[in-house]
Structure 1
């Protein structure tokens, strides 16, 4: 369905994702996969003309709203600026009618532009060539540019185009906005105001149009329309054969939640700014605005550029696709905002942040752009308010992070009810918001990971220590004493494997809680000894003296499941006693979750079936705690029982396969990860792209094939390239320095761009790089 072999006009390959045939069945996939964004906002790539089944989404990061008391907070679907009502000789234009030739819709990853072209024959002798272009500016975060070109190949025709701002949209039926004022200034500049119903966030959206025929400006007064939740203009004119109409459209989007308005906001002032920005952009036009946008993306690729010389060209495109969407979804402009599990490409998961960010996306930023990594962790620091509220509501102390997070102070926003139970017909309760608690230690781990890789002491003093201390306070209060066993346990939880609910002593949860408390104790001692003033501040805030006594009394009594006689660590207390079934029918499935066509969640919970990496994730994060023999035995045992029904799973298994030297399996799992969104499955991305998987793709390449790890505060590099890869090169930040790393099957080249010496382990041997060094790739 999608083609990846198209080149850019300058001949560059590996940059283009192309739909070569229009299909109503593939609307949602292409809308998500080809979504545009700049971290401030995301625009789903629905076609300009309307089709049944389309999803027109425009999300502005951080603007969460709760539709009513029975629903959770979600990113509201803002007014649409992309739809155009095009009529040819009075008839609505649609690709469902007439004959379509030379169809192509392409996402240019390098310049982040969506281009759609085709020739359309009306069936009554009229033929036109259409070109649609679109971008969401990375240069000016509030701007969207659209361009329509229509050339009459066989005519003449009477053409009309109606375009504007359409707020007659919703989040699958939930309307998050009050209807606001609408204006048209000078018959050119459109304005629509929306205000969210509960959070009271104001949106001001402006749009303007510029019409040309054969390159010359047309002085044509439009018909103007202001309707309920809608403002638009319409242009109508006659075109002769050979003539070309060009319509430039610019939209500007601002909200009262924008950081520039924090503490100093007035709606009239924001309206004035939007109109001023819109007029300037209107004067500049599409091409000038796009040129600046493309230049901003050129800097992205210069900073993040990764080189892969592979026998399969798709490998490089797959990684570039991941990096493109990571940039498009990440709110690098504002530390009050996180990354949604579907980015900004669809309504899936309501724009909420999960552990996806800390475990799968943050490593990319830690090693590629530490400043953004810090911003994402500051978002979690701001979320301490909601985490403390959740702990208190559940009868615990400290900070208990929500499984799903929205605005930092919102606390837990996981929906309570989910899909239908195939057996009972009842709606399934979503337990993750109640008992999937490992996210608290995942965030503490991410803070530690960032600090050890960057050495950012200021972050730790201002934010990091507080997160680690208060999450450890939570875990100490969460532990349950088992008198018969003489140990502390963690019962009634969901681990990373969400097909196992209400389990006791999930190994991942227990080990990570132990790590969290042990880390807090370590930092307690360091601050007490070396930074008494800082220690005194945190002691006053969190009563660390008392907390340390509790940690010390409990740490060594926390139950950490150990390998059995076959070296298998039980995923939880009962997993290894559950029924084993043949999972072959569900391993190569068209759509994830196909096992629930035959069983309900309770039945799956009583079988040795894992949704995703669980024990394997533990080996990846805390690998120094387990021997290679234990890791390999568990990998062999659990891999065949893992359905990878979560997009988070494949990358972890790929990285571990690389560690074991199984290059074939590691590459196959990497390839499957790249195909979650880009592969042939039509409905895999309907609700949006898979944000964590995209971070995982980078992890496969850099932490798997290149073997990059931070172990005990030291940088390690142990490459195991796939057999058909001739080269892998990428930038890597370590302790404030940018390294340029290039790996071939024969050698490893490391260049310190700052010219400062850096120490790291290469294939287990400690090496010091002064400026540039080359090592044999063993």
Structure 2
């Protein structure tokens, strides 16, 4: 852990500038709006260690994969999330000397990420080499209302002198990726213009030809009053700017406002990018910084109404959950079905690709309950539109007849992950995608989705599972060989319990979905059969044969599901007995040593118990939890939330709280020493799950909503909001009572501690806490 940020309910606060923390802060204080994002790089020159990061949604580069290219079916490329042109830059000079926080002294440094209104604020005093002091304030936001606009207000005040201060706002297309091979660059300059008070740049990615346009317009102020300064117009290779210089008195504030428009060929034709960028920039400039910010903060206000979780009595817990919700909203808004939730969002380059199984397993539960149903529907449609690619991916591996294997990592439906044990073996991702369809429908009753999209996906996935298993003459069961489960510290194993379990569940659920569609709309069912060449009688019989005779490893001596064949052959030293100096083990141990150990990176068997919880009694859950959790190092961001939920389920409230803090403050406190690479966006939804599904005990079975709330001893009260069957309700949990508040125009029925209650429209129902 690395705790250097101040606890606050609505803000992330860093006091005092320490360069060794800067790259982590650049991630933590990032901004985004679903269309674009920006790491918390400084506007002014900074010569210290930094990861420059400006990102435009949907733009990537297909980098030739360098591992495993000789293997049949191996991905042709690894998708890089590209660092796009730098739009925040404002060089600052004090009497000809560059302001650079890596070389000058600072006092009263304070960096604040205001999560309630969605802006980044920096305030500090800089002491130049010649002793001159300036007070600096910088505020910026990426607009949630005007989603092609970013805005900066930057002010410098001389404190002990009068002299010349210059601002040079610029746009820089000559950018690099930290993860580039051999210092390769990925952008070509297409167009560039600079005029008085404005500048534009259009760049295009190599290979795929995505275009991005960036424009800026500026105003300058003295003491808050606009002043006209004729700038020096500047151009370099792929770089354009204006230089504004002013003689400034001691104590006089000199400010610049920089309004930036960002467009891309995802939303405009390539030849129209420059015109679109100018139009967008001008529209933002005409509104001005204050009006733009007012609209932006109002959008955030609405988002918090429906998704905020309030915790009383525990500031660290409160800050953690809001930090995670904030970054989820910054990453994905649900307005564009071509986009998805990237594992690093707009905060870093690591992992590449835009879509993992994390979206279905972790993010969809969040969006189902906090956003309009079309947001989740768009995430599911995203996968439907890539079904043909999923079938192609399976065909490359030798599967046939419409079997679909969704990719582990993708931008457009093609597999683009370049580690063989993940690409070929971590096939459990198919199960998460199928379960997401079920999860969406049981929350919304949108059975029409099955007819329109979902059933085709389910058939393709079930066909894959039926071909991926084989009959074991020795076991007299169907088995699944050579897989990697969610626990990536085990590769090329046989009969991973979770994978086998999800495979059988998928075939059973697809069978149920077929019956439902056939009953509701026989014509639609026949069309799907014709389109997919589905042989109902033959294929359904095969699926039933497999599900009835699937092998699941089980240890009768300890009465626990075995994670995979041979797990008990390992040396079992519990995590508590590991040398803390060797943690995290993935940074100190060889991969060979990790693979031979009993240590679990993330919930694996417990992941299956969490997903299919209704199949297991409390004692079964408890036995498996108490066996596996002590062997889990939680070095995946996806792990603590599942353990928190299950610990709450079996009454281990202190363990649930411990795991909640770990998941909610994973990046803020940098548990795994990797925040500098970017944040764990997709696992942030697990933080929400830990509160709502863990402490709140929220479950949905057979279209009915259940709550079984508990409260950690550290909390006085907590509250969360849910959308269920298009009804909006709020749940308030305190030590002695549970309040269900209806914000709906319709009555809502739900079960609290197993008792049916009915919340009338806009009324409050109270029940005693257990």
Please give the TM-score of this superposition, normalised by the length of structure 2: 0.94
Moved over 6 A (4+): none
Q: Distance in 1 between matches of 2:582 and 2:254?
A: 43
2:189 is aligned with 1:197: no
SS in 1 for 2:151: strand
CA contact (8 A) 1:66 1:176 kept: no
Partner residue of 1:19?
14
Classify the secondary structure of the residue corresponding to 2:508: helix
Query: What is aligned with 2:69?
Result: none
Match of residue 322 from structure 2: 320
Q: What do residues 83-103 of structure 1 show as CA deviations (whole Å, max 9, x unaligned)?
A: 222111111211233432111
Change (3 A) 1:447 1:630: same
Deviation at 1:534, TM superposition (A): 1.2
Name the residue aligned to 1:740: 730
Q: 1:455 to 1:529 in 2, by over 3 A?
A: closer
Q: How does 1:450-529 map to 2 (within 5 A)?
A: 450-529=440-519
Contact 1:563 1:569 in 2 (8 A): yes
Distance in 1 between residues matched to 2:672 and 2:90, nearest whole Å: 26
Matches within 5 A, 1:177-188: 177-184=187-194, 186-188=195-197
Write the mapping of 1:52-71 to structure 2, written as runs, cut at 5 A.
52-68=48-64, 70=66, 71=77
In structure 1, distance between residues paired with 2:634 and 2:676: 18
The answer to whether 1:442 aligns with 2:432 is yes
Residue 454 of structure 1 contacts residue 734 of structure 1 at CA under 8 Å; is this kept in 2? yes
- Compare 82-91 and 21-30 and name the one that shifted more: 82-91
Cα deviation 1:22-41 (Å, max 9, x = unaligned): 11111111011110000111
CA separation in 2, counterparts of 1:132 and 1:585? Answer: 48
Q: Which residue of 2 aligns with 1:176?
A: 186
Are positions 1:79 and 2:81 aligned together? Answer: no
1:255 corresponds in structure 2 to 264
- Indicate the residue corresponding to 1:43 in structure 2: 38
Task: Work out whether 1:350 is the aligned partner of 2:352.
Answer: yes
Equivalences for residues 561-580 of structure 1 within 5 A:
561-562=553-554, 564-580=556-572
Counterparts of 1:286 and 1:61, CA distance in 2: 24
Residue pair 2:443, 2:724 contacting (<8 A) in 1 also: yes
- Any stretches of 5+ residues in structure 2 without a counterpart? 67-76
Give the SS at the match of 2:346.
coil
Structure 1 residues 628 and 158 mapped into 2: Cα distance closer, same or farther (>3 Å)? same
1:636 matched to 2:626? The reply is yes
TM-score by length of 1: 0.93
DSSP 3-state at the match of 1:233: strand
Please state whether the residue corresponding to 2:390 is helix, strand or coil. helix
Structure 1 SS opposite 2:144: coil
Match of 2:575 among 575, 583, 606: 583
Query: Which of 413, 418, 431 is 2:416 aligned to?
Result: 413
- Describe the shift of the 1:348–1:484 C-alpha distance in structure 2 as closer, same or farther (beyond 3 A): same
Aligned to 1:232: 241
Q: 2:302 aligns with which of 266, 284, 299?
A: 299
Q: Distance in 2 between matches of 1:680 and 1:605?
A: 25
Q: CA deviation at 1:3?
A: 3.4
Residue pairs, 1:753-768, within 5 angstroms:
753-768=743-758
How many angstroms apart in 1 are the aligned matches of 2:63 and 2:197? 33
Please state whether the residue corresponding to 1:676 is helix, strand or coil. Answer: coil
Structure 2 residue aligned with 1:548: 540
Taking the aligned partners of 1:481 and 1:297, their CA distance within structure 2 comes to 54
After superposition, the Cα gap between the structure-2 partners of 1:452 and 1:681, relative to the gap in structure 1 and judged at 3 Å, is closer
| Gap change, CA 1:246 and 1:351, over 3 Å in 2 | farther
Who is 2:74 aligned against?
A: none
Q: What does residue 424 of structure 1 align with?
A: none
Question: How many positions carry a matched residue from both structures?
Answer: 747
The aligned residue for residue 225 of structure 2 is 216
* Distance change >3 Å, CA 146–CA 682, structure 1 → 2: farther
Task: Assess if the C-alpha contact under 8 Å between 2:211 and 2:273 holds in 1.
Answer: no
Say which is worse superposed, 61-70 or 534-543, in terms of deviation. 61-70
Return the match for 2:23 from 28, 33, 57. 28
Distance 2:610 2:65 in 1: 40
Alpha carbons of 1:124 and 1:605: their partners in 2 closer, same or farther (altered >3 Å)? closer
Counterparts of 1:682 and 1:216 in 2: how far apart (Å)? Answer: 47
1:109–1:321: 8 Å Cα contact kept in structure 2?
A: yes
Cα distance in 2 for partners of 1:665, 1:229 equals: 54
Matches of 1:161 and 1:596 in 2, distance apart? 43
C-alpha distance 399-732 of structure 1, shift in aligned 2 (>3 A): farther
SS of aligned partner of 1:103: strand
- The offset of 1:116, in angstroms, is 0.3
Question: 1:415, 1:351 → 2: CA distance?
Answer: 11
| Aligned pair partner of 1:133 in 136, 139, 153 | 139
Q: Could you say which residue in structure 2 is the equivalent of 1:404?
A: 408
- 2: CA distance between counterparts of 1:52 and 1:534? 61
d(CA) in 1 for partners of 2:152 and 2:20? 25
1:111 to 117, 121, 127: 117
Range moving further from structure 2, 56-65 or 70-79: 70-79
The 8 Å contact of residues 331 and 339 in structure 1, kept in 2 or not, is answered as: no
